[in-house]
Amino acid sequence: MVGYMHEVFPGFGFVLQILLFSVFLIVIYWVIKSGSIAKESAEDIAKKRFAKGEISKKELNEILNELKK
């Protein structure tokens, strides 16, 4: 049976290895990239929220003062 599959799909094992290795590399890249998002500081998040208009200048100053304590 193994010999027959080799005749029908020559090189399939090599293609499968390349495919699995590619999937492995993509998963590793995704894990590394998603970890960089968590490195954003609370101060940066507050400033972005202010820039989007989600919080007022007073709220931003309160948040920044709390973070400095």
**Dist CA 9 CA 3 (whole Å):** 10
51 within some domain: yes
The answer, yes or no, to whether residue 13 has pLDDT greater than 80, is no
- The pLDDT value given to residue 5: 56
Residue 17 domain-assigned?
Answer: no
Indicate the SS3 state at residue 1: coil
Chain mean pLDDT for the chain = 82
Q: Kindly state whether residue 4 falls inside one of the protein's structural domains.
A: no
The boundaries of the domain holding residue 41 are: 22-69
Interatomic CA distance for residues 17 and 19, integer angstroms: 5
Residue 63: inside a domain, yes or no?
yes
Domain count, the chain: 1
The answer to whether the beta carbons of residues 19 and 29 sit under 8 Å apart is no
Q: Quote the pTM value.
A: 0.45
Q: pLDDT tens digits, residue range 51-66?
A: 999 999 999 999 999 9
